[in-house]
Amino acid sequence: MGYTLCIIKPDAVSKGYTGKIMDDCIQAGFVIHGIRKVQLTEDQAKSFYKVHEHKPFFRPLIEFMTSGPSVALVLEKEDAVDAFRDIIGKTDAREAEEGSIRHKYGEDNRRNAVHGSDSPENAKKEIAFFFANIDLI
Ligand code: RTP
Ligand code: MG
């Protein structure tokens, strides 16, 4: 079994989609092992998205991610990283496949409802970023 980190981003939390997205995860066969609501600070958001620090969209991304509460989830499933990226859809919600989480709850290429880890190594680091000493059941 593998784990991935999902962040329900501020756009989706503020629109009341937290429960729907969690239910979509469960219906898709993920087990939720950790859940934490958090408003990222500027420093936390910059650290989380450090790989993008030289991209033109970095500043607006940080402003967006600190604009309100997010909900971090630890999800478990076989090949969790790829399986979760399959159900969230393309980065730009306007291009995301019909029925995908970003298609249903996102707006564009920034306000795209959810984050999903992009590799098992990054998933491990990202889970540790939000959950100290989590007991993965
Ligand atoms: P994520 O890391 O959030 O799961 O998204 P992703 O892998 O699909 O996309 P990535 O390239 O890692 O981008 C991270 C987040 O930055 C915002 N973004 N804005 N052109 C833009 O304005 C732009 N491109 C990306 C999105 O919120 C994206 O999820
Ligand atoms: Mg990414």
Q: Where are the domains of the chain?
A: 2-130
Question: Closest ligand to 9 CA?
Answer: 1
Is the whole-model pTM more than 0.90? Answer: yes
Ligand 1 atom at minimum distance from 49 CA = 14
pLDDT, tens only, 38-49: 999 999 999 999
Q: Is the CB of 115 under 6 A from ligand 1?
A: yes
**Residue ranges with strand state E in 27-69:** 31-38
Residues recorded for the chain: 137
Helix axes 120-130, 80-88, angle to 10 degrees: 80
Fold of the domain spanning 2-130: Alpha-Beta Plaits (3.30.70)
pLDDT, tens only, 83-116: 999 999 999 999 999 999 999 999 999 999 999 9
Q: What percent of the chain has pLDDT over 70?
A: 97
Question: What are the residues whose beta carbons fall under 8 Å from the beta carbon of 63, sequence distance 6 or more?
Answer: none
Q: Which two tokens stand for residue 124?
A: 């491990």
For residue 52, report the distance from its CA to the centre of ligand 2, in Å.
9
Looking at the DSSP bridge assignments, the partners of residue 76 are: 3, 31
CB 61 within 8 A of CB 49: yes
Report the half-sphere exposure of 133 (CA within 13 A, side-chain side): 0
Flag whether pLDDT at 133 surpasses 90. no
